[in-house]
Amino acid sequence: MSSVTLRSALETTPVAYGFWLTLPSAPVAKTILRRSPEFTEGGFSWVLVDAEHGLINDTHYYELTNAVGHEGASPIIRVPWPEEWMIKRALDAGAHGIMTPMCHSAEDAAKVVSYCKYPPVGVRGYGPMFTPHSFPGVKPSEYDEKTHGEVLVIVQIESRPGVENVEEIANVDGLDVLFIGEIGYFCIGFVGFANGLFVGPFDLAKQMRVTRGGEEHEAAIQRVLDAARSAGKKAAIFCSDGDDALRRTQQGFDMVSITTDVAVIGDGMLNQLEKAKGSSNVQGKRDGY
């Protein structure tokens, strides 16, 4: 079994569930992960550490990757942009996988793969002084020999060119997952992992200038899912709540983010306030972060 929890989950379970961490808070991440087995068998297998749109930067990476990794889940860091130095910093801090925004072409995806892999496969610089700390039970020599090669590579397809080129993107060697990310009203987004794609619905709708949830938007999401399947990769998607997540798992997505930390904190606190007041105005379905 892989020492990368998410990779093992993608290989052995129908769906790998995760959530978005936008706050630089190890206690928030650990509270959620520690309690999840009490409510559902298996719990979460990954956490997206959002350094693109969240309040997280690389000074927080080490603490967050260790907090998540030692609770039995994989910390996946979404870097602000697919630049080599940003990816290197995230991996050296202990990320089990990298997600990059705005993948428009197979060339873009190939560069990300190269930045994540040591030579001769890629060009990642060597310096994993702290990297193994977030992989419980993995010795430094084991990271060098095996674990670094199991780190997941994920790209988001969140533009019209990304959708139009998604079949070529999905066939890039070393890419694990295609990811469809935050669902926007005028565009659609996708992400690619080692053997998968991530779909980002919010940005994708905005970039494509189409109605989120409309026929063209849903067709683009399905195209990403089909491309992942055809290439033998995994498909992933960002969801705004559990109802949305259930629909996407039934559609066939392998990796699903069910909600965000700020959504749970905000909705949970306000819903309890409304209940305390005897109000029936309790928050229902979410539409966004």
Q: Measuring CA to CA, how many Å separate 263 from each of 181, 241, 266?
A: 16, 9, 5
Can you tell me which residue has the tokens 């998968």? 196
Residue 112 phi/psi, 5-degree rounding, is -60, -45
Cβ neighbours, 10 Å, residue 279: 10
Residue 39 phi/psi, 5-degree rounding, is -110, -25
Q: Could you tell me if 181 and 190 are in contact, meaning their C-beta atoms sit under 8 angstroms apart?
A: yes
Distance CA 163, CA 180 (A): 10
**Strand, helix or coil at 198?**
strand
44 DSSP assignment: -
State the burial class of residue 165 (Cβ atoms within 10 Å of its Cβ: 0-12, 13-18, 19+). Answer: buried
115: Cβ contacts below 8 Å, ≥ 6 apart: 82, 84, 87, 88, 122, 123, 124
Nearest to 192 by CA among 249, 75, 114, 113: 113
In whole angstroms, what separates CA 47 from the centre of its chain?
7
Active-site residue, 53 included: yes
The catalytically annotated residue of 53, 70, 148, 217 is: 53
Distance CA 108, CA 157 (A): 11
Distance CA 236, CA 248 (A): 9
Our CA angle for 6, 159, 104, nearest 5°, is 75
The residues annotated as belonging to the active site are 53
